[in-house]
Amino acid sequence: MSQAADATHAHAPTSTGIDHKKLIMWLFLASDCMFFGTLISTHLLYRKLYPTGFTDAEGHQQFIQKLFNIELTSFSTFILLMSSFLMALAVSAMHKGQLKSFRRNVLGVIFFGLIFLGCQVYEFTHFYHQGLTIQNSVLGSTFYVLTGTHGTHVAIGILWLVLLYFYSFTGKLTGHMAGLDVEIAGLYWHFVDIVWIVIFTVVYLVEYLGPSGFWGTGLPLAK
Amino acid sequence: MSHDSHHAPVADKMELAPERSDLGLFRPDRTRGLFDWLTTVDHKKLGIMYGAFAMLFFLVGGVEALAIRTQLARPDNDFVTARMYNQLFTMHGTTMIFLGVMPLSAAFFNFLVPLQIGARDVAFPRLNAFSLWTFVAGALVLNGSWLFEFAHLAGWFDNFAWHKALVYTDFAPANGWFSYAPLSGTFGQANAALQAPRFTGVGTDFWIIGIQILGIASLAASFNFICTIVNMRAKGMTMMRLPVFTWMTLVTSILIILAFPAITVALIELMFDRQFGANFFNPSAGGQPVLWQHLFWIFGHPEVYILVLPAMGIVSEILPTFTGKALFGYPIIVFSGAVIGFLGFAVWSHHMFTTGLGPIPTAAFSLLTMAIAVPTGVKIFNWLGTIWGGRIRFTPPMVLALGFIWMFMCGGFSGVMHSAAPADAQQQDSYFVIAHFHYVLLGGVLLGLMAGLYFWFPKIFGRMPNAGIAYLATGMVILGFNLAFGPMHYLGLAGQPRRTHTYHAGNGWETWNYVATIGAFILGLGVFLAFVNLVYTAFKGVKCASDPWNGRTLEWSLPSPVPEYNFARSPIIATRDVFFEHKHGVHRLAYENDGGEAGVHMPSQSWFPLLAGFGFLIIGFGMPMMAMGVPHAGWVVIAGLGVMFMGIWLWALEGPGGYMLKTPSDPHGAAAQAKAESSAY
């Protein structure tokens, strides 16, 4: 399909000059902000209410910092940040019509996204064996549902990028609309990344603030 | 590419070879009748289907209401059991709000917004079809719970092992439309199967997944409408020239996309509590039931404005039409609507004054609640200003719109009474609250929506509803409504509690309960009569001119029924109410381009939005089955997810498609002729 036909066919100029697809993605992200805002609020409210953590299967009071492996989470956070960098490169490549560069970078994003998910799976299994379950405490419920929902977002993003990657071999991912389609996937990916930065800060890092944790009764930083 | 041949404009789709999608499949564009309705992406047909489903569910919710009133007609009545009564009032509220008012508003959004802004369709026609079918799936899930309840009452489940495991057997939702935790949640410790004991039966699981699915439908529709209004306005249609109804659609859609995530998360948390033994609202494990109230009302209060703002938009279109005056204070009306939407997010805790929030939040929420009366009052005064000095023509929509102002104000007055926390503490959970919100939602929203139905029916179907029956129905609705809900103010202040299946004689409540029941039946008959009149009109009514009311907005410039391509020539908007100025203004403003266009781009139909909606239907029935312990029900949920993803995936891959339609060179030939015949009104 030629560019001219592309323009006259389905894409009349919009009132704002912003393409419909991009606008609706921004609207979705606005809605998703409220979604994660509600989940994060739930976690923080309960964290303030029950600062001591949870009771494990043996009846011992446990502190969440003892579970956290902040080095591992920092690593996976860094990986997710770098995946955003690769995503930006993929978007730029597609805008320039460099299909091969696009594929290389998108594979990188998918690979980094999978590393992040792998870390999360490891973390969940590890915490579970340490005694934090979704049933045994409010902390378990809020932690797993919040970070799990974020993980689901990452997984959907990976699925989307895998489909885009294979779609790029059909020869249909060309022209102005292709750049836009990849850019929209990029918007989603960056958003999910930014949400993780917030979660990493308020769920993980603040536990290490101050001599006994942000909530006042945690353990000191030295493990 | 396959649809390159579709670039030459044609007068009829049938001139083209059958269109193949990018998947190589034939698109369902040659279909007629049922298949056409199932695969359509035309905003007008989708709007009509939204309206038809909404009217159906209005009647279902109405029957539930009449069962409630029959039970309460006499003290110590046993028309229904207490358990059935709980299910009735829960499903009545849920049905009326999510399956009656919201889809009827969505029907108007769908039909009118593209016409009022001079657009071909909404921004995403297939997403629009997806919203409709997902809504239908959610509605069927919620009401499907009744089938299980009836089967249970008939004893059909008695031999199933999983049934014996259930202690509580409310198969239809029974927690009230807000499903307060912990009643809707769990208590005690979860067992090895990750299930904690629950207060209520599987009806709550139907409610959770049903509302979740309806929320997805509303969100998808709202993204679409915001995008349409912001991005698809005709040349010259600036934001401050938008018809007020379109403005209120925009505000409502923004409220939906920002408020629904709160209920989505609350429902996910409640679902985890019930299905996987989590502790979000489980008090015995430290969960805080009040958190549910906060999350619910952060959604629930904006929801009130989601219900009422479209009706306000409708009234703002009807009053100028039948007074022959421009809307008084257009910018202030628009601004007030936006302020109501904004403040709607800051008043949720007034539903929770009696939970003991402490003096500071209580005072703050009291003040903000009182503040919201200001923009509402501004709107009322602007409507009065519109009527003032106008040449009022009394027609069924005008009478209903005037009824809206009057009845909605009564609801507003009792609303301001609730905003004072000490007074609210007395009124909480009494019939006074029932009286208040029925004056707002029935006297306000229902009258507004009925006014809209009578106003736009001639445009939708090209046929005029019978005015005599319309007046009779309107009179019955207003009389019956006041008889039913007026006395409830007194009953509430006299202490009758809500959500209680009966009351004893001797409290002085007998007379007014009896009167309320009589009023409810008059109201029910009135609504039924109005709907019968409208449905009859749709098929057999008297044909009427394309602009029977001397309308002001662009939809009246089109033939009735509106052709599938909407505007043969794209409109140019030089002023607010440009069509009215064109007809009556000093300069007779032109409002459309002088032809010479290549034709109108028409989108192609698709099966896949329906398929995705069907996936939600499977999920919606699978989840409660899982909660009931039906073997292998988890696989049904996974299959439903698969169908849903498959629908969306194929929809993405089939490509938007479409073809160019040649429009008639003289689109107004027929319309001009029809205009010469003067209208019945």
Tell me what pLDDT residue B679 has: 41
Give the domain range for residue A75: 21-46+66-208
Put simply, whether A45 touches B (Cβ < 8 Å) is yes
Under an 8 A CB cutoff, do B22 and A172 touch? yes
- Give, to the nearest 10 degrees, the angle between helix B447-461 and helix B510-540: 10
Tell me what pLDDT residue B291 has: 96
Q: Find where tokens 């490509």 sit.
A: B655
State the DSSP H helix or E strand holding residue B506, giving kind and residue range, or none if neither. Answer: none
Put simply, whether A55 touches B (Cβ < 8 Å) is no
Put simply, whether A187 touches B (Cβ < 8 Å) is no
Closest CA to B323 of B398, B243, B405: B398
Residue A34 lies in a domain: yes
Residue A16 lies in a domain: no
- Residues of chain A positioned with their CB less than 8 A from the CB of B287: 138, 141
Beta carbons within 10 angstroms of residue B552's beta carbon: 24
A6, A8, A24, A187, best to mutate vs chain B, most B CBs in 10 Å: A24
Backbone angles phi, psi at A204, to 5 degrees: -100, -60
Beta carbons within 10 angstroms of residue B15's beta carbon: 11
Put simply, whether A27 touches B (Cβ < 8 Å) is yes
Going along chain B from its start, the domains and CATH numbers come out as: 2-542+600-676 (1.20.210.10)
Strand partners, A62: A54
Q: How many CB pairs under 8 A join A and B?
A: 119
Strand partners, B542: B464
Tell me what pLDDT residue A12 has: 65
Tell me what pLDDT residue B659 has: 84
Residue A33 lies in a domain: yes
H-assigned helices in B100-202: 102-116, 125-153, 161-164
- Out of B259, B269, B295, the one facing A145 most closely (by C-beta) is B269
Under an 8 A CB cutoff, do A34 and B261 touch? yes
Q: Mind telling me how many Å the CA of A38 is from chain B's nearest CA?
A: 6
- Please, which residues have CB within 8 angstroms of residue B39's CB and are 6 or more apart in sequence? B28, B31, B129, B605, B606, B607, B610
The three-state (H, E, C) secondary structure of B20-40, written as one string: ECCCCCECHHHCCHHHHHHHC
Tell me what pLDDT residue B97 has: 97
User: Is residue A62 over pLDDT 50?
Assistant: yes
Tell me what pLDDT residue A46 has: 93
Tell me what pLDDT residue A54 has: 78
Closest CA to B439 of B348, B244, B308: B308
Token pair in block for residue B666: 């003289």
Residue A32 lies in a domain: yes
Measured distance CA(A45)–CA(B294) in Å, rounded: 12
User: What pLDDT, in 10s, does the model give residues A84-108?
Assistant: 999 999 999 999 999 999 999 999 9
User: Is residue A211 over pLDDT 70?
Assistant: no
**Angle (nearest 5°) at CA B133 between B131 and B135:** 65
Q: Find where tokens 């029974």 sit.
A: B174
Show the low-confidence residues of chain B (pLDDT under 50). Answer: 1-5, 670-681
Strand partners, A61: A55
For chain B, what percentages of helix, strand and coil (3-state, to nearest 5) are there?
65, 5, 30
The three-state (H, E, C) secondary structure of chain A, written as one string: CCHHHHHHHCCCCCCCCCCHHHHHHHHHHHHHHHHHHHHHHHHHHHHHHCCCCEECCCCCEECHHHHCCHHHHHHHHHHHHHHHHHHHHHHHHHHCCCHHHHHHHHHHHHHHHHHHHHHHHHHHHHHHHHCCCCCCCHHHHHHHHHHHHHHHHHHHHHHHHHHHHHHCCCCCCCHHHHHHHHHHHHHHHHHHHHHHHHHHHHHHHHHHCCCCCCCCCCCCCCC
Q: Mind telling me how many Å the CA of B156 is from chain A's nearest CA?
A: 34
- Taking CA atoms, what residue in A is nearest to B187? A135
Residue A2 lies in a domain: no
Closest CA to B621 of B206, B133, B207, B98: B206
- Out of B231, B233, B658, the one facing A20 most closely (by C-beta) is B231
**Angle (nearest 5°) at CA B308 between B421 and B128:** 135
Q: Mind telling me how many Å the CA of A132 is from chain B's nearest CA?
A: 12
Under an 8 A CB cutoff, do B658 and A10 touch? yes
User: What pLDDT, in 10s, does the model give residues B397-438?
Assistant: 999 999 999 999 999 999 999 999 999 999 999 999 999 999
Residue A30 lies in a domain: yes
Measured distance CA(B46)–CA(B133) in Å, rounded: 10
Put simply, whether A31 touches B (Cβ < 8 Å) is yes
The answer to whether the beta carbons of residues B501 and B88 sit under 8 Å apart is: no
Residue A29 lies in a domain: yes
Closest CA to B626 of B638, B614, B641: B638
* Number of structural domains found in chain A: 1
User: Is residue A219 over pLDDT 60?
Assistant: no
* Residue B98: DSSP 8-state: I
* CATH code of the domain in which A178 resides: 1.20.120.80
Measured distance CA(A128)–CA(A133) in Å, rounded: 6
Under an 8 A CB cutoff, do B258 and A135 touch? no
Under an 8 A CB cutoff, do B286 and A137 touch? yes
The answer to whether the beta carbons of residues A31 and A189 sit under 8 Å apart is: no
- Out of B196, B278, B287, the one facing A145 most closely (by C-beta) is B278
Closest CA to B326 of B608, B130, B580, B623: B580
Token pair in block for residue B83: 């358990």
Under an 8 A CB cutoff, do A34 and B258 touch? yes
Residue A174 lies in a domain: yes
Under an 8 A CB cutoff, do A18 and B231 touch? yes
Q: Mind telling me how many Å the CA of A141 is from chain B's nearest CA?
A: 5
- Out of B194, B226, B601, the one facing A27 most closely (by C-beta) is B226
Measured distance CA(B21)–CA(B2) in Å, rounded: 7
- Taking CA atoms, what residue in B is nearest to A25? B223
Backbone angles phi, psi at B183, to 5 degrees: -55, -40
- Residues of chain B positioned with their CB less than 8 A from the CB of A1: 1, 4
